[in-house]
Amino acid sequence: MKVLRLLALAALATIACRRAEVGVRLNGAGATFPNLIYQKWILTYNQEFKDAQLNYQSIGSGGGIRQFSDRTVDFGGTDAPMTDSAIAAIKGDVLHIPTVLGADVAVYNLPQVSVALKFTPAILADIFLGKLTKWNDPRIASVNPDVKLPGSDIVVAHRSDGSGTTFIWTDYLSKVSPEWLQKVGRGTTVNWPVGLGGKGNEGVAATVSQTPGSIGYVELGYALLNKMAVGQVQNKAGTFVSPTIESTTAAASGAMKTMGPDTDFRVSITNPDGPDAYPIASFTWLLVRKNYDDGAKGGTLVRFVWWALTEGQSEAPPLGYAPLPKEMLPWIEARLKTVQAGGKPAWP
């Protein structure tokens, strides 16, 4: 009996140690747009803080909103803010916490073209409407006079899943093209006039990489990771701008003028003012509940989010994301301090 008791105690001790090693488990899912930085943050955080184990599944913004709303995950990720009706459906139990800025970029597969192509807003809209079908179309050639363009067909690639990256792209096209707004509109999913569908930023990047003559849109980090050709886009000021950390940051400067401590962070910054601003940029958001029944989960999540918004921001630029403007941090801190976990404030 004594031996059995000792074995039982040893087993319980082993289980306790394992639980201590694993810590609090938090599961999230959503946007592929910020997946590169989220995976980097989670890897670093899990290694540094043994009392937490976070996981994030890159399934698209639509899936992230759905799983967050269904309470099958502890937090969500989205590049398309939840609508007022979607928020009302979960009784307002959500905070949109901006994490980084990213750029939607036009990527294309034209091996014979060695310089960055230029695209006007109208040209991009008409390509994705299926109205421009040849790469050597006079309109494309007119803004790329020094480029010998092939006469091959233009093959459009787009997302097939519910996507915040699509929301950003179509939000921009809806602002610059009345025809796009009327015929297609903005959304995480739209009825594409033409093109091949790919799942996730990964799927669109793969489709473009494998299809000569194709053009698609992905988050800048995926274009850098896959060494893809990236176009310049003419901004509201008339300047052709390359997507960079600096031009993405410049896109947020106009929005900052209209934001404050009580702001709703669900803001669109596509087609902004400013000569240096890249026109197809956006915040991306974590979806965090206002109330967590589990005190340990709520507290751990808030600590992780604040770490990501402070210490973790330095990891964003190497992956193609722009850090948040520092002026936003006090506003976000105040919002995070309202989160309740187990009936108590979740703030550290």
Residue 268 domain flag: no
Could you give the CA distance from residue 80 to residue 300 in angstroms, rounded to a whole number?
25
Residue 238 domain flag: yes
3-state SS, residue 185: coil
3-state SS, residue 44: helix
Q: What local confidence, expressed as pLDDT, does residue 263 receive?
A: 85
- Which one, of 173, 206, 171, lies nearest residue 187 by Cα? 171
Q: Are residues 236 and 135 in the same domain?
A: yes
Domain range holding 183?
Answer: 103-256
- The per-residue pLDDT for range 282-317, each reduced to its tens digit, is 999 999 999 999 999 999 999 999 999 999 999 999
Stretch among 11-15, 127-131, 138-142 having the lowest mean pLDDT = 11-15
Q: Are residues 123 and 252 in the same domain?
A: yes
Q: Which two tokens stand for residue 323?
A: 């850090």
Residue 164 domain flag: yes
Give percent above pLDDT 90 in the chain. Answer: 89
- The per-residue pLDDT for range 238-288, each reduced to its tens digit, is 999 999 999 999 999 878 887 888 888 999 999 999 999 999 999 999 999
3-state SS, residue 28: strand
Q: Are residues 72 and 175 in the same domain?
A: no
239: region left, alpha or beta (phi > 0 left; psi from -120 to 50 alpha): beta
- The per-residue pLDDT for range 36-65, each reduced to its tens digit, is 999 999 999 999 998 899 999 999 999 999
Q: Are residues 116 and 217 in the same domain?
A: yes
To the nearest 10°, report the CA torsion of 61, 67, 73, 77.
10
| Section 113-120 average pLDDT | 96
Residue 4 domain flag: no
Q: Are residues 244 and 304 in the same domain?
A: no
Q: What local confidence, expressed as pLDDT, does residue 22 receive?
A: 54
Q: Are residues 110 and 86 in the same domain?
A: no
| Section 15-25 average pLDDT | 54
Q: Are residues 328 and 312 in the same domain?
A: yes
| Section 202-218 average pLDDT | 97
Is 50 exceeded by the pLDDT of residue 18?
Answer: no
- Which one, of 331, 344, 249, lies nearest residue 299 by Cα? 344
**Mean of the per-residue pLDDT values for the chain?**
92
Q: What local confidence, expressed as pLDDT, does residue 23 receive?
A: 80
Looking at the 3D structure of the chain, how many domains does it have? 2
Asked if residue 52 lies in contact with residue 299, where contact means CB atoms within 8 angstroms, the answer is no
Given the DSSP bridges, would you call strands 52-58 and 95-108 parallel, antiparallel or unpaired? unpaired
Q: Can you count the helices (H) and strands (E) in the chain?
A: 13, 15
Is 80 exceeded by the pLDDT of residue 20?
Answer: no
How distant is the alpha carbon of residue 321 from its chain centre?
9
Q: How far is CA 299 from CA 23, 251, 295, in A?
A: 13, 33, 6
User: What is the CATH classification number for the domain harbouring 336?
Assistant: 3.40.190.10
Q: What local confidence, expressed as pLDDT, does residue 278 receive?
A: 97
Q: Are residues 118 and 176 in the same domain?
A: yes
- Which one, of 114, 104, 194, lies nearest residue 155 by Cα? 194
Q: Which two tokens stand for residue 290?
A: 């206002």
Q: What local confidence, expressed as pLDDT, does residue 11 receive?
A: 38
| Section 211-231 average pLDDT | 96
Q: Are residues 34 and 140 in the same domain?
A: no
- Which one, of 268, 218, 274, 265, lies nearest residue 246 by Cα? 274
Give the relative orientation of helices 121-128 and 164-176 as an angle to the nearest 10 degrees.
120
Q: Which two tokens stand for residue 48?
A: 């540094």
Q: Are residues 207 and 301 in the same domain?
A: no
Q: Are residues 39 and 65 in the same domain?
A: yes
Asked if residue 313 lies in contact with residue 264, where contact means CB atoms within 8 angstroms, the answer is no
